[in-house]
Structure 1
Amino acid sequence: MRYVVAVAETSNFTRAAERCLVVQSALSHQIARLERELGARLFDRTSRRVRLTPAGEAFLPAARQALDAAERARDEVAAAAGEIRGRLAIGAIPTVVAVDLPAALKEFHLRHPRVRITLRSGASEWLAEQVRQGALDVAFLGLPVGARPKGVRGRELARGELVAVVAPAHPLATGRDVDLHRLADEPFVDFPPGTAARAQTDEAFAAAGARREVAFEITTVDFMAGLIRQGLGVGMLPAAFAPELPGLSVLRVRDAPARMEHLIWSGFPSSPAAAAFLSTVNGGAEAAPADY
Structure 2
Amino acid sequence: MDIRQLTWFLAIADARSFSKAAASAFVAQPAMSQQMQKLERELGVELFDRTSRPIRLTPAGEHLYARAVPILGEVQKTQMEVQEFSGEFRGRIVTGSMQYLASVEMADILAAYRNAHPAVELQMRIGNSGQLLDLLRARQLDIAYCHADGVVDEDEFDVRVLREEELVVIVGPRHPAADGTTMRVDDLLDQPLITFPPGAASHEALERIFATAGAAPKAWFESADMATAIALVTRGLGVALVPRSVASRDASIAPLSISPVPVTLHVAQVSRLDRPRSLAIDAFASRAAAALSSTRYSPG
Assess same fold via TM > 0.5: yes
> Are residue 190 (structure 1) and residue 195 (structure 2) matched?
yes
Give how far 1:78 is off: 2.3
The CA distance in 2 between the partners of 1:120 and 1:279, in whole Å, is 19
RMSD of aligned alpha carbons: 3.5
Give the 3-state SS of the residue equivalent to 1:173 in structure 2: coil
Contact 1:185 1:212 (8 Å CA) reproduced: no
Give the 3-state SS of the residue equivalent to 1:171 in structure 2: coil
Which deviations, in whole Å up to 9, do the C-alpha atoms of 1:53-81 show, x marking residues without a partner? 9543445899xx99997676444212134
Instruction: Single out whichever of 214-223 and 114-123 deviates more from structure 2.
Output: 214-223
Match of 2:127, as an amino acid? G
Give the 3-state SS of the residue equivalent to 1:91 in structure 2: strand
The CA distance in 2 between the partners of 1:73 and 1:143, in whole Å, is 31
Match of 1:264 among 267, 270, 276: 270
Give how far 1:264 is off: 0.5
Match of 1:266, as an amino acid? R
Match of 1:178 among 183, 196, 215: 183
Q: For 1:1-292, what aligned pairs fall within 5 Å after superposition? A: 52=31, 55-58=34-37, 73-96=78-101, 100-144=105-149, 147-150=151-154, 151-209=156-214, 211-254=216-259, 255-268=261-274, 269-283=276-290
CA 1:182 to 1:54, structure 2 compared with 1: closer, same or farther past 3 Å?
closer
Match of 1:118, as an amino acid? Q
Contact 1:188 1:233 (8 Å CA) reproduced: yes
The CA distance in 1 between the partners of 2:39 and 2:201, in whole Å, is 32
Give the 3-state SS of the residue equivalent to 2:111 in structure 1: helix
Contact 2:128 2:199 (8 Å CA) reproduced: no
Contact 2:232 2:238 (8 Å CA) reproduced: yes
CA 1:113 to 1:174, structure 2 compared with 1: closer, same or farther past 3 Å?
same
CA 1:233 to 1:54, structure 2 compared with 1: closer, same or farther past 3 Å?
closer
Contact 1:162 1:239 (8 Å CA) reproduced: yes
Question: How many residue pairs are counted as aligned between the two chains?
Answer: 238
The CA distance in 1 between the partners of 2:32 and 2:208, in whole Å, is 46
Contact 2:161 2:268 (8 Å CA) reproduced: yes
Instruction: Single out whichever of 116-125 and 253-262 deviates more from structure 2.
Output: 253-262
Which deviations, in whole Å up to 9, do the C-alpha atoms of 1:92-145 show, x marking residues without a partner? 112339x9322221221122101111111101111112122221001011143x
Instruction: Single out whichever of 151-160 and 210-219 deviates more from structure 2.
Output: 210-219
The CA distance in 1 between the partners of 2:285 and 2:200, in whole Å, is 26
Match of 1:261, as an amino acid? V
Instruction: Name structure 2 gaps, 5 residues minimum.
Output: 6-29, 41-63, 292-300
Match of 1:204, as an amino acid? I
CA 1:54 to 1:103, structure 2 compared with 1: closer, same or farther past 3 Å?
closer
Instruction: Name structure 1 gaps, 5 residues minimum.
Output: 6-50, 285-292
Contact 2:129 2:199 (8 Å CA) reproduced: no
Q: Which has the larger radius of gyration?
A: 1
Match of 2:286, as an amino acid? S
CA 1:85 to 1:170, structure 2 compared with 1: closer, same or farther past 3 Å?
same
